[in-house]
Chain A
Amino acid sequence: MKGLILAIVVLVYSGITLQSQSLKVRTSGSFSNSSFIDFVEELEQKTNLKFYFDESAVNHLKVNAAGTDLDVDSLLFSVLVVNGLNYYSDTNNNIIVYTGSKIVEKIEGVEDKQDQANFFPDNRTSMTKAEENYFNARNDVEKPALIIIGKKNGFHGNHVLNGRITDEATGEPIVGATLFFEELGTGVASDIDGYYKIAVKAGKYNVKANSVSMKEGMFHVHVYEDGDFSFYMKKELVGLDEVKVVADRNHNVKGMQMGFEKITSKSIKEIPVVMGEKDLVKVAQMLPGVQSSGEGTGSLHVRGGTADQNLFYINQVPVYNTSHLFGFFTAFSPDIVSDFSLYKSHIPAKYGGRVSSIFDISTRQGNKKNLFAQGGISPVTGHISVEGPVVKDKISFVTSMRGNYSDWLLTQIDDADIKKSSANFYDWSFGVNSTINDKNILKAFVYNSNDDFSLSDKSDYNYENLGGMINFRHLYSPKLSSEIALVSSQYGFGYNEKTNPSDAYRHEYKLLHNELRLDFLYLSLIGHRLSFGTNTIMYNLDRGDVNPYGDESTRIPVSLGEDKGIENVLYVCDEFKLFSRLGVSLGLRMSRFDNLGPQTLNTYFDGASFTEGNISGAKEFASNESVKAYYSLEPRLALNMPFWENTSVKASYNRAAQNIFMLSNTIAVTPTNQWKLADFYLKPPVSDQYSFGIYQNIPSAGLETSVEVYQKNTKNVVEYKDGADFISSDPTEMLLLQGEQEAKGLEFMLKKKTGKFTGWLSYTYSKTSVVVDSDNPSERINFGNPYPSNFDKPHSVNLVTNLRSNRRLSFSTNIAYSTGRPITFPVAMYPVENLWFTAYSGRNANRIPDYFRVDFSINLEGNLNRKKFMHSYWMLNVVNVTGRKNAYSVYFESDEGEIKAYRLSVFGQPIVTLSWIFKLGNYTNE
């Protein structure tokens, strides 16, 4: 237990009653000029005492004593009190060492008794004198610093505070740390570079700073003028994996966001995972309103949307294929991901381009003080990341690498084709962060993921994401800052189909996304937080050529054509308060998308459907000539009405348009799915979403709850015609249909974020239906009647729990239940010659059986000695504990003329894996 500092503030808040007790413990030993830490370590081994102290306060202490019957109390007195420290022992043999022997009666910087009472909300009159002494002494230790901004010339007007919050140990910016001004009841969160900005009235404030796994910082801030208030936060040295999300304790209720989830890498560390691979996307599937299309698939469906309606960013780089191994794993190495945010109702005006959700993934920024490495080994992959300073406190780097060695699994299968197959993937990333000075930051990041498979001599297949960005951030004044970023992302795949020698082909596809963004943030003195900016995206899609593969192939080469487009966006968003209580976020995003030439299009007879027979002619467009322009005006409004300290009601309206979508005729995303731009005939999907929610926190129990209802209508959703073939020479307008989707639902969330037992329970009710209707019967799906979308799962319940039994051992479980997804079953069978065929009727009229799965994991850490060179932990995962054969799919096959139904289950039995995770170097890094 040595080297652990107790989070006193948390202790005080949790209301644990402490009682002083004289220490009657005796020990034996010989200490000659031993350090206090060594002394404590020995004492902890020999007795049942547990020590808590700030290491820096006792570093200089030496212990000299020898004997077989030493009185610990006298010993501590002689070592600590003599050196100006004090100690306290409670009934549970906990000994808390603190600085200063003086017992303060009054907290500096807090003006009157009322304020003092507010500052420590516990009812102190009920304490014993000893307790009061203790708390007062603790107050001294955690004494809030007094910060004076500006010259003391009285409190006048509004001022802007800005600053940067960094980690004391690593120098890394702290993302999402919150500053909460108690007297104002408002706060602000730090951004990806640790910066924050807030406008406040001149005055005296108690300010709390919180962040995940950081000690809470307390300040008395006197604001006289605009000014900079940057500070460090200290790590709260708790067990490696303790989930203690205090940072956003007030976000649930106070933040403007609805339908927003933020998940940190740390908080999911112990969640059971398949094959021991920590995976943010799989955790996202446990959140309300998020569905997967099946076990082992990487597709996410947010509020009934299709997989291509989600936009994934990793450090501003868009990622067009987020899965490894067809979705078994996510293409982001767990080592460098620090957290991700999911926006599913109110999407800030800054973001756009997808109609369902935005997943914004941030990576670690690199330790600015020490070299640090971490990694792990699981049955299928090995991964490592290294980070450290290039120039201490100024420039840091972070790099990660991950590769698989899963081929051994393939050889275990009794199937000749599979034995001759291979499956490989890897990903790496590299980032540099440079704090040039107080006003300028430069960052660069590169990301690459690669997959390669071959199935015997039948097909080969590879795909790759390659992306990078350079971001420069500048602070003009405390009120105004800007960020300029140049982003490039490339996605491509290659596929060889070799099953039939005459028909064999190779298809290569490539997408290039180049983006320039400029974002500003301005704080006005009258309480407006204004963000605005612009971005331009240039899309270059080469849908590729389908060429003969091998000597024998006589396949006709087909060029699927190129697609070029430019998207120009202007956005503005203002956050302010109306009537001093009602929080308003009002945003507008304006965009113009142009599909650009060169392009040759078919023209069709007026009002006729897009078929070969209705072609009336052709139309040519010159290079960079606008083929078609689409304007989109997207209002984004969010309201937050707090009622009591812990309750608020929020409402939002959100419109979003999407100019790029996926050509898919399958239910799950496959790696050969092509992206396609909106064009002359295919209109961009546009969604309108209304959400309403009630948020309630119960701080005494550490609980957060929320209930949200939503209605989302999307027009121009893309569906495909029966039998659409996306590698044929048919223009896409002949293959696709556009319809309308309606989604509505209720999402309930109960989260416990603090204490030994943490986790969440979510329930989602949802209904999503699609209509594709037209005057022309051949352009209807399901006869023009509404049908459930592929991901319509009305009821879904997820329970995620983590129980930390002590600092080294923890247990986690996931329990997931959902209604089976819709599926189209045959309704009848009929004889043709000597065969029986199946007849289908209503699309998605049936459902596969309900889904239920229980996963379990145990995490065991090694010794937590701070000075150890390497720290590691073992993770034992059991996925599908009950061994239930959940249907991944139900399908029908004719077997010698007889039609049979089959169920495919991916995890048909409990799967046990053991993985090992290590950290080298500075232990305080996470």
Chain B
Amino acid sequence: MYKIIIAILLTIGFWGCIDEIDMPNTSSDQGSSFLVIDGSILKGDTIQYLRISHSNPLGNYEFNPEMGCKVSVKCSLGDEYEFEEVEPGIYTTEILPECLIEGTSFQLFVETMDGVKYQSEPEELHESVSVDNIYFEMGDENLGANYYDNGAQFYVDLKAAEQNSKHYRWVVEETYEYHARYVLAGLLDASEKRFIEMQPEELMVCYRTQNLKEVFASSTQKLQVNEKKKIPLNYVPAVTNKLKYNYSILVKQYVLSDAAYEYWNRNMLQNSSSGGFYQMQPSQTKSNIHNVANSDEIVLGFFWVSSYQQKRFVLDKKDRVQVYERICKADTFIMSSNLWIVVDKYLANLGEYPDGRTVYGHVSPAHCLDCREKGGVLDKPDFFD
């Protein structure tokens, strides 16, 4: 609905445009004042995490830990679990499997060093549901030359029984293979002033795995059956070249309570607005955690309890898509003694001039030669054959 309006606005005024602008400087005094409690009890995980921090002014991505809190979780079966601060602001505990059964509820209690007490609403653990089909559709290819719009949109189907929860959240972890642009001949080591030869292709192929920084939530609340088709997950633009070799996503399907769904869904919508104007007024998503003595205090974050199942999708070879290669800068040089200073961090491949004496090389930025520079690892995951 909103997209069509924005589309038409931009079309009729095809003089319209969207520009990224500097982050407005909003009341920064308020920016760091809110307490953030973010954590979960997940059936299937042995260690349960809770992060307690303070919010930041816009544009500041630092983690401001709230240290020295007393944290505990009470299970409706009677047990209480104390959390331990393993890193500043990060608290963990282990919950016994006998407590992690469907129907149990958990309540979080936090007391800060200043003695301010917070607690959550009780959150019930619901039964997990197995992940149904995961598939993708390629974007429109009729665009011809305009391949920029091409890409794979992934979807998941949901198939749950009537007694299951109606709300779900998916966390997507993607793994893809990528190659360095040039074959690496060796390394120039400036400090030692030597050339270390490498095996060809040794640092050529990498695999990178990352949790996507997107929220995917959906509900069957308005449907007659507890099933839903074609719930959109991530979109992989072909231009990223992630679809060129092996590609896989691991989809974890978490079951949510009403309140948790409300929280995640609202954040999903507010973080992916398309124009803002025909959207609802943004508003604070409600936390299920409150200050015991002062319910007016704004507390950010959510304490949620869930069980999950997961499923992996691996892209078929025939579906691989290659678009264009990013150009990697490469310069030719002739080996000489003062070169070491210049090319300290560079990697090079080598050749010889026909005279047989002069050695030349190509220098290129590290990421063009060593795939690990882009965050991947060399070990091939076993789900890629």
Contact = CB atoms under 8 A, between A and B. Distances in A.
B22 interface: yes
Contacts, number: 280
A904 interface: yes
Contacts of A894: 213-214, 271-272
B79 interface: no
A458 B4 contact: yes
Nearest to B283: A722
B327 interface: no
Contact of B228 (A418, A502, A777, A846): A502
A838 B278 CA distance: 19
Given A502-B230, A824-B281, A902 B51 contact: no
Interface stretch (B140-148, B330-338, B341-349): B140-148
A833 B38 contact: yes
A421 B273 CA distance: 21
Contact of A903 (B21, B30, B51, B296): B21
Nearest to B158: A502
Contacts of B86: none
B142 A416 contact: yes
Contacts of B1: 459, 495, 497, 670, 672
A665 B282 CA distance: 10
B56 A502 contact: no
A410 B9 CA distance: 11
Kindly name the residue among B13, B60, B295 whose own CB sees the greatest number of chain A CB atoms within 10 A: B13
Interface residues of A, number: 95
Interface in A767-794: 777, 783
B3 A455 contact: yes
A846 B20 contact: no
A495 B2 CA distance: 12
Nearest to B23: A901
A846 B23 CA distance: 13
A669 B213 CA distance: 33
B31 interface: yes
Given A502-B220, A777-B295, A898-B61, 10 more contacts: A326-B9, A415-B7, A556-B223, A824-B282, A846-B24, A888-B9, A893-B271, A893-B272, A903-B20, A905-B19
B276 A461 contact: no
Contacts of B23: 899-901
A829 B277 contact: no
Contact of B278 (A423, A666, A783, A892): A666
A392 interface: no
B237 interface: no
B31 A827 contact: yes
A911 B13 contact: yes
A890 B15 contact: no
A890 B275 CA distance: 8
A665 B276 contact: no
Interface string B163-207: 000000000000000000000000000000000000000000000
Given A846-B26, A907-B13, A902 B21 contact: yes
B277 A294 contact: yes
Interface string A898-919: 1111111111111100000000
A910 B55 CA distance: 42
B300 interface: yes
B106 to A, nearest CB: 18
A666 B280 contact: yes
Contacts of B11: 409-410, 412-413, 418, 421, 423
B227 interface: yes
Contacts of B285: 837
By Cβ-Cβ distance, the 3 closest A-B pairs, closest first, are A891-B276, A897-B213, A455-B4
Interface in B45-76: 51, 53-61, 63
Given A416-B140, A458-B4, A891 B229 contact: no
Contacts of A296: 9, 12-13
A904 B230 contact: no
Contacts of A840: 282-284
Interface in A826-857: 826-841, 843, 845-846
B133 interface: no
A722 to B, nearest CB: 4
B17 A905 contact: yes
Given A416-B143, A901-B20, A829 B27 contact: no
Contacts of B57: 828-829
A417 interface: yes
Contact of A830 (B36, B59, B142): B36
A31 interface: no
Given A459-B1, A908-B17, A841 B284 contact: yes
B133 to A, nearest CB: 13
A880 B15 CA distance: 10
Contacts of A900: 20, 23
B353 interface: no
Given A825-B24, A893-B273, A414 B213 contact: no
B24 to A, nearest CB: 6
A828 B34 contact: yes
A757 interface: no
A899 B272 CA distance: 10
A500 interface: yes
A841 B296 CA distance: 12
Contacts of B97: none
